[in-house]
Structure 1
Amino acid sequence: MKDVRRPDRDVGTDRLGAVSESVIREMTREAHAHDAINLSQGIPDVDEAPEAIKQAAKDAIDAESQYTITWGLPDLREKVSERYADWKGVEYDPETEVTITTGTSEALVSTMLALAQDGDEVIYFEPVYESYIPASRFAGAEPVPIDMTDDLDLDVEALADAAETASLLVLNTPMNPTGKVFTREELEAIEEVVFEHDLLVLTDEIYEHIAYSDDYVSPVSVGELADRTVVCTGMSKTFSVTGWRVGFCLAPEYLSRELRKVHDYTTICAPTPFQRAGVEALSLPDSYYEDLADSYERRRDVLCEGLADAGLDPVVPDGAYYVMARYPTAESDVEFSYRLVREAGVAVVPGSSFYTDPDRDADWVRFTFSRDESTIREAVDRIDEHRWW
């Protein structure tokens, strides 16, 4: 019998037809369901956030709980402009070129909706953080992935070929899920392609302070790339406040003007007390960032050594806080991931979810080491104890 309560037509737009819910968040739900250690989603432990910025947020609730200016708290935009001039060597006008967004994810989507025309081609490198794929499709654009699975090196020729018909390049460095950090030489080659083929660039630099060598270079510090680039970053990973949803969008005025139109009508402004805490966060000394990277490097080594001892094959990352590891069974990555969470009590993300067209031959999964060291050690002990390979 027909259900008259529902419309007699399909619902949902065509652009959502190829979009599914996040596999990463799905695996977090699996972790909760099986009381497992969650090494799937990049969520730090509760005590990772500096006490001073938590107190600043608490104090701001009493004084600053209403809307800020849509583009963000003026004090925070001033602080972002000041700090990023030091970090990236680029001056951004806090009035017209800095926008505070509701997390980096909103910055990415607002930029995509603002700059990608219906039918445009958007280039990115795979394996890729899953959000870029639906963000492209929300804009009506066509994703153009370039695979770098084998060696994680930039294929300049493949990029140049794709750029001939594309309008936008998405560049994530340090990279999620692999931890790749693009070298200066690679970025210089990218700059040449960008100007030769008239591309705009969207960079996701949320892991900019979690790099394990001196090789990290922000794309906007290379040549004239800053003139074509929207930088998307924020507080979540650097200050271990993923739930506060405060992002920073830095771009030349002609690009900021467009993305601000989307931001204005979607989220209005980021949470005000957490913006105020952002001023405090960006006032921390340089030693904070050095200690942050050192801490994650120690955890990276614990996880990678533990996985190797358990018979898995981790790809040691140069940045971010994720490890892709290959496993030696004939199972699909989805089967392996679900078995691991249910039998070993450790949640991971299937590697195939980081591809535009899920890689049915994927034989790797992603772990995060955003948790504290004792939790990571317990996780690798569980994996070793319950291994079936």
Structure 2
Amino acid sequence: MTRAALREGAINLSQGIPDEEETPPAVKAAAKEAIDSSSQYTLTWGLPELREAVADRYEAWKGVRYDPETEVTVTCGTSEAIMSTLLALCGEDDGVIYFEPTYESYIPAIRFAGARGVPIDITDGLTVDPDELRAAAKDASVLLLNTPQNPTGKVFGRDELREIAAVAEAEDLVVVTDEIYEHIVYADDYVSPVTVGNLAERTVVCTGMSKTYSVTGWRVGFALAPDCLSAELRKIHDYTSICAPTPFQRAGVEALSLPDDYYVELSDSYEARRDLLCDGLADVGLDPVVPDGAYYVMVRYGTDESDTAFARRLVREAGVATVPGSSFYTDGEADWVRFTFSRNEPTLREALDNLAENRWW
């Protein structure tokens, strides 16, 4: 859809790409300075100063201490952290539970690992059925959890996480969490899964710089996990990517030193844009499901067209690109589309004007 947006000259509200001015100036400056001094490999696990900074900040944020030497790995983005983890920890026909609609790269990542996807559909109400979860876990090895979730913006609450923790312990599941949107939350205080029960002992936390610091192209991710799990995922990481880009790792040290106010302002800014987009979509006759986190909104459109046909028509006739909802399901069927509000306010207003002027639904 990004390619379609470029081809049609449309406003791209499909891919979660922030505008350039979103990146903190001090973080950009640190990257530019590092290019002059740091153009060679780091240790494959990552720059020691960055791993130390990650361990310190995540202890402050989550109350869980990770050893920067053995339990923190810097990866080429969060996607590589997840891919390396699944390749390391899954074998042939191992079951991997995930919740649909789901971030679309999970499905091929599971297949690359030779594993078997075990999707649980939470479309109706965005809630997890405990009985369905327990049944799925009896024939699974890994549970892949994205919170806040892409594409729905669902934030898993403490009670849901307690249920997941109980099931994981009972069935001896490894939990892999994708928490890349952990600082973009609009509901109550965010609960990291590793702060619930004994989940930290069996969890690989995958996160990174892309969304929090608006540097999606820098490809710096973090995998935090107990030594026994880190040792395995590092084997895959070492031989697939060697190390994340060195100048951007150095800039990561600067990013992690930003004051707490930065994260409050980040969330507040996206919340304002969420409200602008969701209110505007409702005004033009679309039906958004208001998210509690991340910067996406799933929207029902009320015509008989398939989601793909609607999305393609939208980019051609209204000049706004979205993602068909079927992209987020294993069977490729859905009746909604995803918008992003990662763009700035003028861009969102222009997109809403386009929708109002070119409405056919």
- Bucket of the pairwise TM-score, normalised by the shorter protein: over 0.9
Letter in 2 for 1:230: V
Q: Residue 374 of structure 1 corresponds to which residue in structure 2?
A: 346
Shift of 1:121: 0.6
Aligned match for 1:122, one of 92, 96, 117 = 96
SS at match of 1:325: strand
Shift of 1:153: 0.8
Worse-superposed segment, 210-219 or 58-67: 210-219
Q: Distance in 1 between matches of 2:60 and 2:122?
A: 32
Q: Is 1:353 aligned to 2:327, yes or no?
A: yes
Unaligned runs of at least 5 residues, structure 2: none
Q: Distance in 2 between matches of 1:299 and 1:326?
A: 19
Q: Is 1:386 aligned to 2:347, yes or no?
A: no
Shift of 1:214: 2.2
Q: Distance in 2 between matches of 1:294 and 1:270?
A: 30
Q: Aligned residue pairs: how many?
A: 361
Shift of 1:154: 1.4
Q: Distance in 2 between matches of 1:197 and 1:93?
A: 27
Worse-superposed segment, 215-224 or 162-171: 215-224
SS at match of 1:174: coil
Q: Distance in 1 between matches of 2:286 and 2:35?
A: 46
Aligned match for 1:78, one of 36, 52, 59 = 52
Q: Distance in 1 between matches of 2:164 and 2:293?
A: 20
What do residues 213-233 of structure 1 show as CA deviations (whole Å, max 9, x unaligned)? 224200001011000000000
Letter in 1 for 2:349: R
TM-score by length of 2: 0.99
Q: Distance in 2 between matches of 1:235 and 1:282?
A: 9
Aligned match for 2:30, one of 52, 56, 60 = 56
Shift of 1:134: 0.3
SS at match of 2:293: coil
The 8 Å contact of residues 183 and 215 in structure 1, kept in 2 or not, is answered as no
Name the larger-Rg structure: 1
Q: Is 1:42 aligned to 2:8, yes or no?
A: no
What do residues 46-93 of structure 1 show as CA deviations (whole Å, max 9, x unaligned)? 111000000000000011110000000000000000000011110000
Percent of residue pairs identical: 72
Q: Distance in 2 between matches of 1:280 and 1:272?
A: 13
Q: Distance in 1 between matches of 2:188 and 2:304?
A: 39
Letter in 2 for 1:143: G
Q: Residue 364 of structure 1 corresponds to which residue in structure 2?
A: 336
SS at match of 1:283: coil
Matched ranges for 1:1-389 at <5 A: 27-359=1-333, 362-389=334-361
What do residues 1-22 of structure 1 show as CA deviations (whole Å, max 9, x unaligned)? xxxxxxxxxxxxxxxxxxxxxx
What do residues 274-327 of structure 1 show as CA deviations (whole Å, max 9, x unaligned)? 000000000000000000000000000000000000000000000000000000
Q: Distance in 1 between matches of 2:347 and 2:80?
A: 30
Letter in 1 for 2:225: A
Q: Distance in 1 between matches of 2:189 and 2:126?
A: 15
Shift of 1:363: 1.7
Letter in 1 for 2:161: L
Letter in 2 for 1:214: D
RMSD: 0.5
SS at match of 2:222: strand
Q: Distance in 1 between matches of 2:183 and 2:276?
A: 20
Query: Would you identify which runs of 4 or more consecutive aligned residues in structure 1 move more than 3 Å?
Result: none
Letter in 1 for 2:62: K
Unaligned runs of at least 5 residues, structure 1: 1-26
Q: Distance in 2 between matches of 1:61 and 1:232?
A: 26
